[in-house]
Amino acid sequence: MSKTINLTLKVWRQEGPEKKGRLETYPARDISTDMSFLEMIDVINEQLTLDGKEPIAFDHDCREGICGMCGAVVNGHAHGPEKGTTLCQLHMRHFSDGDTIVIEPWRSRAFKVVKDLVVDRSAFDEIIQVGGYISANAGGAPDGNAIPIPQSVAELAMDAAACIGCGACVAACPNASAMLFVGAKVSHLGLLPQGRPEAAKRVQSMVSRMDALGFGNCTNEAECEAACPKEISITNIARLNREFLKAKFFSPE
């Protein structure tokens, strides 16, 4: 049954990338427990607007957990405390009356703060640009059933392909590593026969771009897997490492 709760929010406010940020405190009263976390911020923002203040900037779009646009660190957890849940799918029934909630942006050298809770994740697009694809121009594809792919392989590829590119893995990692994101794409494409011809080039290009963009290395903390709203497994990082070593030994480019 729905009820209402009162909360205290401590929200990171930062006017721009070069500006100094700070935590501001806002009361959140009569919040329905049926609301999503983002709807709760909507309510606060309506009030801030009417009070003549700047509403809190935050990224969001589909609000059904698939576009990867939303995300903030809530009480120290990327996307909040619920496992396998994006911030937009987190509901207020998981909080109690009187709670204090601290809301901060993703923090990483590679993700600069744009404003308040909004960060610049274009580094992910840059990594995909250098190899996160199969080079297949429209028009020349053979029949879809020309190459049978074992169901188990297709399922494993799909597990990795489910990544929504939200960046929670980077935010959760003490090294701000993007290895889960890169590992998921290298696995998705490398597991499939169509992806093999470019596999060695792909993994080397993506890893070197990832390093150049300022992401850290993986030290097996597994925080990324715990924070991932799509529960992408860190075995994808192991596969990334194997692909990378194999490429370096056998197909230097």
Structure tokens at 91: 């509901």
| Closest to another protein by CB, 189 or 234 | 189
| Closest to another protein by CB, 46 or 211 | 46
d(CA 93, CA 96): 7
CB-based burial label for 27 (10 Å; 0-12, 13-18, 19+): exposed
Q: Work out how close the CB of 220 gets to another protein at its nearest, in angstroms, rounded to a whole number.
A: 27
| Closest to another protein by CB, 195 or 216 | 195
Q: Work out how close the CB of 221 gets to another protein at its nearest, in angstroms, rounded to a whole number.
A: 26
Best CA proximity match to 70, nearest among 171, 1, 206, 192: 171
| Closest to another protein by CB, 153 or 219 | 153
Q: Work out how close the CB of 18 gets to another protein at its nearest, in angstroms, rounded to a whole number.
A: 13
Length of the chain: 253
Best CA proximity match to 200, nearest among 161, 242, 160: 242
Q: Work out how close the CB of 52 gets to another protein at its nearest, in angstroms, rounded to a whole number.
A: 7
Which amino acid appears at position 238 of this protein?
A
Q: What 3 state SS string does 212-245 have?
A: HCCCECCCCCCHHHHHCCCCCCCHHHHHHHHHHH
Q: Work out how close the CB of 70 gets to another protein at its nearest, in angstroms, rounded to a whole number.
A: 10
| Closest to another protein by CB, 218 or 243 | 243
